């Protein structure tokens, strides 16, 4: 028996999955509600980078980085923001430190050396607000990086013109 995509989404929504816990919970009242949220609002929150997973961030023992539990909690919000943006490896700026984060593993892999001229292998930068700033409505700020020149509109227009056989200056 084959389920249609709509039927699968309805089954998922009826399970009452919460964003905060990331696990299935019985639906409260009404079909498709999860603590007052329906599936569509969960998707829109995830797209906006507002979904909170409450999943922990760990520090690799080989990283040489030491962080407080409070810093790890703030890193969790930054990891959620990076994951929502589709990043794989992020440079995290927190309390004057520059850290590399494996977003999928949610693990700090090392400290970025400020003496390096270029930091490679990252998809984006997330600036974490100082402690106490989250209560004032500030949240981690994402600064995506260009993707190897593919976002260069001038280059794309020249390549498109060549593909269409048009002359370029």
Q: What is the mean pLDDT of each successive set of 10 residues along the chain, which is 169 residues long? A: 64 54 43 57 68 84 92 91 88 92 94 75 88 59 60 68 70
Domain residue spans of the chain: 5-47, 58-144
Which tokens in the block code for residue 108?
Answer: 């700090």
**Is 74:92 a contact under the CB 8 Å cutoff?**
no
Place of tokens 């923001």: 81
- For 155, the token pair is 């280059």
DSSP letter at 130? Answer: P
pLDDT at 41: 77
Residue 75 tokens, joined: 């890193």
* Structure confidence at residue 86 (pLDDT): 85
């Amino acid at each position: 028996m084959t389920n249609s995509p709509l039927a699968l989404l309805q089954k998922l929504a009826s399970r009452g999955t919460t964003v905060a816990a990331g696990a299935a919970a019985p639906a409260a009242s009404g079909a498709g509600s999860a603590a007052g949220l329906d599936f569509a609002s969960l998707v829109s929150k995830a797209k906006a980078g507002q979904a909170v997973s409450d999943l922990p961030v760990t520090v690799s023992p080989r990283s040489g980085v030491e962080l407080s539990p409070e810093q790890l909690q703030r890193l969790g919000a930054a990891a959620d923001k990076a994951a929502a943006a589709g990043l794989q490896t992020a440079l995290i700026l927190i309390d004057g430190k520059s850290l590399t984060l494996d977003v999928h593993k949610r693990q700090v892999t090392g400290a970025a050396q400020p003496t390096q001229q270029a930091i490679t292998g990252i998809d984006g930068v997330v600036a974490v607000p100082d402690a106490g700033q989250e209560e004032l409505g500030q949240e981690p700020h994402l600064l995506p990086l260009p993707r190897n020149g593919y976002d260069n509109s001038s280059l794309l227009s020249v390549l498109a013109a060549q593909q269409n056989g048009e002359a370029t200056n």
